[in-house]
Amino acid sequence: MTEQLATNITWHEGEVSHAQRNQSLGQKGATLWMTGLSASGKSTIAVALEQVLLQQGKHAYRLDGDNIRHGLNKNLGFSAEDRAENIRRIGEVSKLFADAGILSIASFISPYTADRDLVRKLHEDAGVAFIEVYVDLPLEVAESRDPKGLYKKARAGEIKGFTGIDDPYEAPTNPELHLKTHEMSVEDSVRALLECLQDNNLLEA
């Protein structure tokens, strides 16, 4: 757990509740946390889902690993410590979006169970819905896709600590949704995600 450094700070309660914000948007804010190996399809599926949700008049926003590392988390690398801080910060940001009533779609490899569990707890403590989505496929399939050539570089030793090659991926044991992208098309995955949102009663206030 990250240490609280600031002192003399007091939480200032607002006058608008999460439920009221949900009501005004006609949906329930939630985080959809997409975890999985690089090239498993997290970003591709997130982009497609965001588009479908917006077409349905829902309010969704994508938080994407590489994009966040261009800004908010540009000062973090890929050590275990920096990965943990990367996920902690984005977990907090996603929780804020979700608390605001948005369907926040976060796509991050997030390889360590402890880091993902911490994000889940942040949401639970705030009374905000958290849906863990395991974007799964065999490593060989991820390597054969390799859209950014990263596995090739990792195999050549040009990238150290690459998840699945020389850094572990700890698969979720109890995700809310398990997508097997070597067996499901992008459209299948989007359909499954929409069903999951529906089943969890998140598409209405």
Least distance in Å: CB of 42 to ligand ADP?
3
Q: Does residue 73 bind ligand ADP (CB under 6 A)?
A: no
Count of residues near ligand ADP by CB under 6 A: 17
CA dihedral angle for residue 155, residue 156, residue 161, residue 165, rounded to 10 degrees: 10
Residue with Cβ nearer ligand ADP (100 or 192) = 192
Q: Which of residues 140-199 bind ligand ADP (CB under 6 A)?
A: 145, 147, 181, 184-186, 189
Q: Does residue 43 bind ligand ADP (CB under 6 A)?
A: yes
Secondary structure of residue 115 in the 3-state scheme: helix
In whole angstroms, give the CA distance from residue 115 to residue 119: 7
Q: Does residue 138 bind ligand ADP (CB under 6 A)?
A: no
Question: Is the separation of the CB atoms in 36 and 45 below 8 Å?
Answer: no
Q: Put the strands of the sheet holding 60-64 in their side by side order.
A: 60-64, 103-107, 30-35, 129-136, 177-180
Catalytic residue among 17, 110, 144, 189: 110
Residue in 161, 174, 145, 150 with CA at minimum distance from that of residue 33: 174
Q: Does residue 40 bind ligand ADP (CB under 6 A)?
A: yes
Question: Is the separation of the CB atoms in 99 and 126 below 8 Å?
Answer: yes
* Interface residue with ligand ADP, options 39, 87, 90, 131 (CB under 6 A): 39
Q: Does residue 86 bind ligand ADP (CB under 6 A)?
A: no
| Distance (Å) of CA 173 to CA 12, 55, 116, 181 | 37, 33, 11, 17
H or E stretch at 107: strand 103-107
Residue with Cβ nearer ligand ADP (18 or 180) = 180
189 in catalytic set: no
Residue with Cβ nearer ligand ADP (30 or 45) = 45
Least distance in Å: CB of 63 to ligand ADP?
12
- Residue type at 123? H
In whole angstroms, give the CA distance from residue 41 to residue 181: 7
Residue with Cβ nearer ligand ADP (28 or 116) = 116
Question: Is the separation of the CB atoms in 64 and 94 below 8 Å?
Answer: no
Q: Which stretch binds ligand ADP (CB under 6 A): 37-45, 90-98, 125-133, 193-201?
A: 37-45
Interaction site with ligand ADP (CB under 6 A): 36, 38-45, 107, 145, 147, 181, 184-186, 189
Catalytic residues: 110
